[in-house]
Structure formats: C-alpha cells, structure tokens
Amino acid sequence: MRVNYSPIGSGAGIRQFTSGLTTFGASDAGMTSKEIAKLPKEYGGVVLLPMTAGEIALSYNLPLGSPIRLSRAAYVRIFLREITRWNDPEIAKYNPGVELPDVKITVVSRADSSGTTYAFTTHMAAVAKAVGIDWTPGVDKSVPWKESIAAQGNDGVAALIQLTPGAIGYVEFGYASLANLKMAALENHSHQFILPDSDGRSGERALEGATIPRDLQIRVPDPETSGAYPIVTYTWVLGRRHYDDPREATTLQTVLLDCLTDRKQEVARELGYVKLPEAVIDRVRAEIRTLVATR
C-alpha cells in the first residue's frame, strides 16, 4: 500500500482533513474544540492518535566549540527580544570560560501555521510563568513574534539558521540533526542543562508519568522528571471515526497499527523522534480499532 503524505504544517493539515480532502491528517498541536466542531457530521467525530513524539531544539549559528547553555529566563527573554546580544550577562552567567561574541541575536520563527510553534509557545508560556515573566506572544500555531525573520516549515527554519550568523530558532530535533545545526543545552524544570539527544532518551524521560486524558491529547509543557529535555511534544494522527469505504478504514488501521510495532517505533527513534511509552501505545491501539466503515 502507498501512503502519500505532505508536510504542509499543522494548520493547513487540519484544514485539509476537516474539508474532507485527505484520509487522515497529522498535527503537533492536536485539535481544538473549535476545530473539531467544524468536522462534517458523517465523520462521526475525530480520533486523535499520538503516534510519536519529538524534541524541539533551539538551534543557533555561532562559532563556539561546545554547546551553549541557556537558562529558563534567558531563552524566554531571547524570544521576547529582551535579550538581544549573545554576550548578555544572563547568558554569560551560565557559560563560564566561554568567550561569547558581542553579536546581535537574530530570532528565526515559522511563517506557516505550525504545530511546532504551538508546542514551543505552550512550553514558553509555562516556563515564563514559572520564572515570573509575562509571555506576551500567546500560545497558538501562529503568534505575533517581535523582531523575527520567518521561514516555511522546519526545513526552512533550519536553512535560515544556517545562513544567518548569530541566529537562533526553534526546530524539530530531526531537522536540526539532519542539517548538522548546533543545539543549545536548555535548563529544565529540575535546573539541569539538557541537550536533545539522538536516541531520544531525554525526550522519553519528559513523557514519563504524564496523565493520559480520554481524548489522548497528552500535554507536557514543562516536564518535571529529572534528566528530561524540556521541550517535547506528541504528534497526533487525525482520523475520522467513520469512513465511507470499508477498505479505506481497514487499510488505515493496518498502517497505523504497524507504526506502533517495536520495530517501527525504533525507526522513529532512528529518525530523531521519541519512542512512545507502552501505556500510550496500548491506549492508541485500542483507539485505532474504533475506526470503522459506515456501510
């Protein structure tokens, strides 16, 4: 069987799924109640299936030998444009012995409506509240960034960081790794400086113990587990609860159940994503089997 998948951003993907243009969609943001309310009645509702998870890296373009360390206050204030140069005292404090350049910080953001932006701003709002900073951009798939340059998609953001000395931007770990971008070690809830890692272990720790709600829209905006990388999001497949074509429903079930096998979860990890917790896999398998044909 062939699966045609286009990485067009969560906002556009949700709109195409809602409009009946696709068999299924995918999003790093899940779906809001307003978006779900727009679904055609013949869908019988939506099934939101967390199929993988991923770390969001803060990648940067600086000629430094070792990864830069960014405190919670520092990276929030960078994206609020309150810290605008790389040798700012808040950054220097946590990078002793590192000769930080007196270079302007250029923030790179997403131009499209993006689940990555939603997950990133959800985290930033939680951290800002914890450190006593007002997070003014808000939380959404697209927000009004102050003084940023924008690019389309994770690959576009990665390319723009590569081309811009002094740049920093948020990008999924897999894309940052593929582009060989430098990634910051971020201070987590336990005040440890953690790098995103290629085996996804720090991402797995971030998912440990998270509450699994009935609709499976699991959120971990500021994970408290020791050793956890702080910015991690699930990726949800969006399925109709009812399909007109029995073959379409059966085929989609087969594809999705295959994605949850140990081998395919290892493939996800090899691509820079995070293996799902077993408790989540069990719940998702049960939900996949609820996809049925109406005739």
User: What pLDDT, on the 0 to 100 scale, is given for residue 137?
Assistant: 97
The answer to whether 33 and 39 are in contact (CB under 8 A) is: no
User: What pLDDT, on the 0 to 100 scale, is given for residue 181?
Assistant: 97
Please, what sign has the CA dihedral across residues 124, 129, 134, 138?
Answer: positive
Q: Is the model's pLDDT at 25 over the cut of 90?
A: yes
Total length of the chain? 295
Residue 73 to residue 47: CA distance in whole angstroms: 37
What are the DSSP E strand ranges found in the chain? 24-27, 46-60, 69-70, 106-110, 148-151, 167-172, 182-183, 185-187, 193-194, 232-240, 242-243, 292-293
Average pLDDT over residues 151-156: 94
Tokens of 63: 């000629």
Q: 153 — phi, psi (to 5°)?
A: 75, 165
The model's pLDDT over 130-141, given as tens digits with 9 standing for 90+, comes to 999 999 999 999
The answer to whether 152 and 112 are in contact (CB under 8 A) is: yes
Residue 8 to residue 25: CA distance in whole angstroms: 10
The answer to whether 78 and 186 are in contact (CB under 8 A) is: no
Average pLDDT over residues 8-33: 93
Task: Tell me whether residue 1 is exposed, middle or buried, using C-beta atoms within 10 angstroms of its C-beta: 0 to 12, 13 to 18, 19 or more.
Answer: exposed
The model's pLDDT over 73-125, given as tens digits with 9 standing for 90+, comes to 999 999 999 999 999 999 999 999 999 999 999 999 999 999 999 999 999 99
Where in the chain are all domains bearing CATH 3.40.190.10? Answer: 10-52+230-293, 55-207
Least confident range of 19-23, 219-223, 255-259, 290-294: 290-294
SS3 127: helix
Place of tokens 């997403």: 110
Q: What is the mean pLDDT of the chain?
A: 95
**Burial annotation 187-208 (CB, 10 A radius, 16+ → b, else e):** bbbeeebbbbbeebebbbbbbe
The model's pLDDT over 36-55, given as tens digits with 9 standing for 90+, comes to 999 999 999 999 999 999 99
Tokens of 91: 């950054």
User: What pLDDT, on the 0 to 100 scale, is given for residue 197?
Assistant: 87
Taking domain 55-207, whether its CATH number is 1.10.10.10 is answered by: no
The answer to whether 76 and 127 are in contact (CB under 8 A) is: yes
Into which CATH architecture does domain 10-52+230-293 fall?
3-Layer(aba) Sandwich (3.40)
The answer to whether 231 and 223 are in contact (CB under 8 A) is: no
Name which residue leads in pLDDT, 293 or 148.
148
Q: Is the model's pLDDT at 295 over the cut of 60?
A: no
User: What pLDDT, on the 0 to 100 scale, is given for residue 293?
Assistant: 77
Q: Is the model's pLDDT at 9 over the cut of 90?
A: no
User: What pLDDT, on the 0 to 100 scale, is given for residue 3?
Assistant: 87
The model's pLDDT over 228-258, given as tens digits with 9 standing for 90+, comes to 999 999 999 999 999 998 999 999 999 999 9
The amino acid occupying position 16 is Q
The answer to whether 293 and 245 are in contact (CB under 8 A) is: yes
The model's pLDDT over 157-195, given as tens digits with 9 standing for 90+, comes to 999 999 999 999 999 999 999 999 999 999 999 999 999
